[in-house]
C-alpha cells in the first residue's frame, strides 16, 4: 500500500496503523477512534449554554457540535486526527480531505458529519489538554517577532517597521538585545532581551493600540491561523481541563471560535500585569518589576526556552474556562 493517502478512506487506514504511537496525540486518538466506531445514527442531546462538561469527550464534542450546527440527528461521522497522520510514515504530504490537500493544519481533528437532512458538514477542532491536577496555562501560538508581524500584515492589520523593531527587542533577536549595545555593562537585569516597558516607545505604543482596538481580529488569528493556505482552520476548541479519574469522567471545555473570542473580550481588554524574574541566571534586583502584556484570556511572553529562546509565545490563561 502506498503511504501517501489518496482519499479519506485510505487516510483512515493509515491513521488506524499509527494511532496511539505518539503519547502526545493520545487524547485526539481516543476521540477519533470513538467517533469512527460509534453506532449511527446518533441523537444529539440538548446541553444548554454551558461550556464546561464532565463525561465522555467524544460524545460531548459531538453533542456540542450538533447543538451549535442545529443537527438533531447525526447520520454518520468520520474523524481524522491530523497529528497522527502528520507523524506517520506518510510524512508531510499525507492528506486530502474533501478534495483539499493538507500538508500542515491548525486543526487537530477534522470531522465530517452527515446531518439528518443529508447535508454534509466538515468542521475543524483545535484540542488542548492538561493532565495535571490543577489546570495550567496552555500554549496557543508559537512563532517569532517577524512571523507574528507578518501574520498580522498578511491578514489586513497594519504593522510598521518600527513596531517590528520593538517586538524583536522584546524577543531578544540577535542584534536587538541589550548585550549587542556598547552601554550594556551597567545593566542589572537580563542582557539577552528587553522587557516590554523597555522596548522602543513608539513601537510599544503601536502594539498596545493594536491589541486594544483590534483585539478580536488578533485573537481570531491566534486561534485559527498558523499556516499559509490552511484549508481546515479550527471552528471549535476542545480543552481537557485537568487530569481525570477515567475517560467517562473527563472534564472538558468546549467553545466555537466565535464564542471564545467574544467571551475573551468580555473578560478583559488589553492590560499589563507586573512581575519580577525570580528564577534563572538573571534574577531581578529587589524592587525591579516588568510589564507582562495580555488581552482577554491571552497572555503574551518571550519563549525563553533553551532550544527556542527568541520565540514569541501566546498562552491561554490557566483556568480561563472557570473565569469566563
Reported as a single tens digit per residue, the pLDDT across 58-108 is 999 999 999 999 999 999 999 988 865 555 544 444 455 555 555 567 889
pTM metric for this prediction: 0.87
Q: What value does the mean pLDDT take over residues 199-208?
A: 98
pLDDT at position 26 is 84
Helices (H), the chain: 8-18, 26-37, 57-69, 82-86, 145-154, 161-171, 201-213, 215-224, 257-267, 320-323
DSSP 126: E
- Of 84-88, 109-113, 252-256, 293-297, minimum mean pLDDT range: 84-88
Question: Residue 225 in 3-state DSSP?
Answer: coil
User: What share of the chain has pLDDT > 70, as a percent?
Assistant: 84
Are the beta carbons of 192 and 280 closer than 8 angstroms? no
DSSP 240: E
Pairing verdict, β 236-240 and 120-129 = parallel
β-pair partners for 292: 273
**CB 158: neighbour CB atoms within 10 A?**
10
pLDDT at position 184 is 72
Pairing verdict, β 312-316 and 138-143 = antiparallel
pLDDT at position 19 is 43
Question: Residue 96 in 3-state DSSP?
Answer: strand
Q: How confident is the model at residue 323 (pLDDT cuts 50, 70, 90)?
A: very high
**CB 253: neighbour CB atoms within 10 A?**
21
148: cell is: 507574528
- Backbone φ and ψ for 69, nearest 5 degrees, come out as -90, 0
Residue 270 to residue 214: CA distance in whole angstroms:
10
Q: For the chain, which domains are there? A: 8-134+231-261 (3.40.1350.40), 138-224+266-276+287-323 (no CATH)
User: What share of the chain has pLDDT > 90, as a percent?
Assistant: 71
pLDDT at position 228 is 65
Q: Each residue of 59-70: pLDDT tens digit?
A: 999 999 999 999
pLDDT at position 310 is 83
Amino acid at each position: 500500500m502506498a503511504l501517501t493517502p489518496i482519499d479519506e478512506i485510505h487516510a483512515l487506514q493509515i491513521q488506524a496503523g499509527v494511532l496511539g504511537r505518539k503519547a502526545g496525540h493520545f487524547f485526539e486518538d481516543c476521540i477519533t477512534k470513538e467517533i469512527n466506531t460509534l453506532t449511527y445514527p446518533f441523537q444529539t442531546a440538548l446541553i444548554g449554554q454551558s461550556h464546561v462538561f464532565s463525561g465522555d469527550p467524544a460524545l460531548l464534542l459531538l453533542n456540542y457540535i450538533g447543538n451549535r450546527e442545529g443537527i438533531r440527528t447525526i447520520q454518520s461521522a468520520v474523524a481524522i486526527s491530523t497529528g497522527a497522520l502528520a507523524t506517520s510514515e506518510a510524512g508531510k504530504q499525507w492528506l486530502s480531505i474533501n478534495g483539499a490537500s493538507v500538508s500542515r493544519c491548525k486543526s487537530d481533528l477534522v470531522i465530517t458529519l452527515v446531518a439528518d437532512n443529508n447535508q454534509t458538514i466538515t468542521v475543524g477542532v483545535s484540542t488542548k489538554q492538561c493532565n495535571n491536577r490543577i489546570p495550567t496555562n496552555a500554549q496557543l501560538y508559537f512563532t517569532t517577532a517577524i512571523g507574528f508581524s507578518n501574520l498580522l500584515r498578511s491578514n489586513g492589520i497594519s504593522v510598521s517597521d518600527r513596531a517590528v523593531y520593538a517586538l524583536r527587542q522584546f524577543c531578544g533577536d540577535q542584534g536587538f538585545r541589550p548585550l549587542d549595545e556598547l552601554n550594556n555593562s551597567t545593566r542589572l537585569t537580563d542582557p539577552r532581551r528587553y522587557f516590554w516597558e523597555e522596548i522602543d516607545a513608539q513601537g510599544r505604543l503601536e502594539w498596545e493600540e493594536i491589541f486594544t482596538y483590534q483585539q478580536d481580529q488578533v485573537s481570531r488569528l491566534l486561534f485559527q491561523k498558523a499556516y499559509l493556505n490552511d484549508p481546515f482552520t479550527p471552528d471549535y476548541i476542545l480543552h481537557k481541563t485537568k487530569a481525570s479519574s477515567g475517560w467517562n469522567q473527563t472534564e472538558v471545555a468546549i467553545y466555537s471560535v466565535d464564542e471564545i473570542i467574544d467571551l475573551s473580550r468580555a473578560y478583559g481588554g488589553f492590560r499589563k500585569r507586573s512581575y519580577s524574574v525570580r528564577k534563572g541566571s538573571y534574577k531581578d534586583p529587589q524592587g525591579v518589576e516588568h510589564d507582562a502584556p495580555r488581552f482577554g484570556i491571552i497572555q503574551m511572553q518571550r519563549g525563553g526556552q533553551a532550544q527556542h529562546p527568541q520565540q514569541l509565545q501566546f498562552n491561554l490563561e490557566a483556568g480561563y474556562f472557570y473565569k469566563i
